[in-house]
Each structure stands twice: as structure tokens, then as C-alpha cells.
Amino acid sequence: MSDPILVTGAAGFIGFHTALRLLESGQKVVGIDNLNDYYDVTIKEARLKLLQAYPEFTFVKIDIAETENMKVMWAKYGPFAKVVHLAAQAGVRYSLQNPYAYISSNVLGHLNILECCRFTEGFQHLVYASSSSVYGGNEKLPFSVQDRVDSPISLYAATKRSDELMSHAYAHLYRFPQTGLRFFTVYGPWGRPDMALFIFTKAICEGEKLPVFNNGEMKRDFTYIDDIVSGVLAVLENPPEDNGKDAPQRVLNIGNTKSEDLMDFVRLIEKELGKSADIDFKPMQAGDVQETYADVHETTEVAGYKPTTSIYEGVPKFIEWYKEYYKVS
């Protein structure tokens, strides 16, 4: 049996699916999460319950921003040679309301992970979540990791860009391999209640008004969760090499490489639910971007990443899960 892999944010949407895939392949996993109430905690607990059915899974409730507790956890359950770091305060809009949560979890929390990795002998690879939101208001499409990302338009994006910069400094100074993954709008079963697909499905099911921002004139590169997990784990097995010169780190995009019209997405949900949406068009929200679209060719080169799930396959899978989980007929 190989050493355990640490998955941070294991009760979260992407962390849960990543831990599950690792456990299904027979890998030992230590999952950590502070189970905060940014969204419904019962869904985090339900995800955890599924993970806890595996004897190779250990859960530790901890806040990654607590430096001393993190060191104690690392010594007790580790040391870890491979880390998938997904714990963060997510959400663009909430960063306008509670900015301190982002500095605590995303900046101090990221530093604590870097410090733990730094002092681990034989450390192999830190893969951490960045976000497509670092591209801010960039107009050149598709977004490429070669593009400049110096103009974040939300604090959330600024903290994710900070993570990339901190990781670069640590890889340069302490020579441990790291990869930051810029995820593009992830969706699928067990998805986040604060994200569009969940909000739209709930509103249509409950016959409530469905808020659509920027009068629906938005485009998103929607990435199905199974493609994300395949990408994360393929990247994890392919750490950047240290050529003795450049910092052994890189940043990669993980998207579906298609920019979908938000209104097509809404129509697809309506079709799947067999119900019409009562749409409430609203202006653009502060901090939001109008379009995202990923260029993933570096990710394909590095790890063979190739997304295979279209929204026409993925959305029905989410809706099937939603109806079963919430007992909607």
C-alpha cells in the first residue's frame, strides 16, 4: 500500500470526487476540511459519509489557516509526499461580502500548506486549485496560461493569483514540485449549491424566479466533474522536473474547451426537468466576467488531459443526482 495522499477540502465538491476516485483505485487518503457553513453543511456531511465507508479514508476536521494545528496534523497523519490542495473560500460574489474569509483560507491557508510541504523530505508534488477567474476581464479568447493575469477583478481572483505567485516563490526557493490548476466552472453530481446549475435547477423545481445576470449574455466553459478529477490525478502523477534553473512549478488550465451560451445551458436544464423557467433578467454582477473559455493544450501535453463530457451528457447526470438527493419527482 502506498503512502496516503492528502486531499484538502475533502468534504467539498471537487475534493470529495477526487478523494472518492483515489479510494476507488485502492489509494489511502487523508482528507481534511473545516466543514464551514458557506453553503449547506449537510451536503458536506453527506459527501463525507460516502468517503468514510472506505477503510482507507481518514478524515480530520481542521482549519488550514491554523498554522500550529496544521503542523501537528501533518506530523500525526503524514508526512505526505503528494498533496491535492482544494480547500479554499470559493465564490466570486461572496468575496465582496466577506473578504477576510478569502485572505484567511486562500492566502494564509495556502502558506500553511507550502510550509508543511517545504519541510517534508522526499516531497513529490503539490497540486493546488487556482481558478479561471484569474483571467479577469481579459478579452483574448481562449484563455491561455501564457496570457497576462495581472488585473484581477475580484478579491477571490486576487487570492488565487496570490497562491500562484506564492507557489512560484516556494518552488524557486525550496525546489519542491508544484502545479496550480485553473479550473473552469465545474459542475456535476454533488455540486455546489451556490453555483449556477444548482441555483437554476432548484429555482425551476420550486417554481421560483430564476435570476440570470447580464441579461443572459454570458458564456462559460462548463467542465464536468469527472473530467476535472481525471485531469487533477493525471497532473498529480506528472510533476514538473527540476532543471536546476527554473522553479519546478507551472500553472495549467482545466476546462472543457467550449464556451457555452448561458441561455443554452438554461434551456437544457428546462428540457431535462420538463419545466419552464421563470427568468428574472438582472444586470451584470460586480466582480463577474462575461465569458470564459480554456485553452488546455499545455495540460494535454503534460498529462494527456482530454475532456470528454459535453453539457448534453453532464447536465442530465447532475439533474438525475439532484432529483434523487432532494427526492424531487
Ligand X SMILES: NC(=O)c1ccc[n+]([C@@H]2O[C@H](COP(=O)([O-])OP(=O)(O)OC[C@H]3O[C@@H](n4cnc5c(N)ncnc54)[C@H](O)[C@@H]3O)[C@@H](O)[C@H]2O)c1
Question: Which residue number, 134 or 279, has a Cβ lying nearer to ligand X?
Answer: 134
Check the CA dihedral 161-307-10-71 and report its sign: negative
Contacts of 153 (CB under 8 A, 6+ apart): 136, 137, 287, 289
The only residue of 4, 13, 117, 255 in contact with ligand X, by rule CB under 6 A = 13
- Residue keyed to cell 426537468: 273
Q: Does residue 157 interact with ligand X by CB under 6 A?
A: no
Closest separation between CB of residue 210 and ligand X, Å? 19
CA atoms of 95 and 108, how far apart (whole Å): 16
The only residue of 192, 219, 220, 250 in contact with ligand X, by rule CB under 6 A = 192
Question: Which residue number, 185 or 249, has a Cβ lying nearer to ligand X?
Answer: 185
- Residue keyed to cell 451584470: 284
Question: Which residue number, 105 or 178, has a Cβ lying nearer to ligand X?
Answer: 105
Contacts of 244 (CB under 8 A, 6+ apart): none
CA atoms of 59 and 249, how far apart (whole Å): 28
Clarify whether 156 is annotated catalytic.
yes
Q: Does residue 30 interact with ligand X by CB under 6 A?
A: no
Q: Does residue 12 interact with ligand X by CB under 6 A?
A: yes
Closest separation between CB of residue 86 and ligand X, Å? 4
Question: Which residue number, 103 or 175, has a Cβ lying nearer to ligand X?
Answer: 103
- Residue keyed to cell 445576470: 213
CA atoms of 231 and 307, how far apart (whole Å): 8
- Residue keyed to cell 420550486: 206
Closest separation between CB of residue 36 and ligand X, Å? 5
Say if residue 21 is exposed, middle or buried (CB neighbours under 10 Å; 0-12, 13-18, 19+): middle
Question: Which residue number, 44 or 250, has a Cβ lying nearer to ligand X?
Answer: 44
Preceding omega of 99 cis (within 30 degrees of 0):
no
The closest residue (CB) to ligand X is 12
Residues 112-131 that bind ligand X (CB under 6 A): 129, 131
Residues 53-92 that bind ligand X (CB under 6 A): 63-65, 86-90
The only residue of 6, 7, 31, 44 in contact with ligand X, by rule CB under 6 A = 44
Catalytic residue, from 94, 128, 156, 224: name it. 156
Residues present in the chain in total: 329
The residues that touch ligand X, with contacts defined as CB under 6 A, are 9, 11-15, 33-36, 44, 63-65, 86-90, 105, 109, 129, 131, 183, 185-186, 192
Active site residues: 156
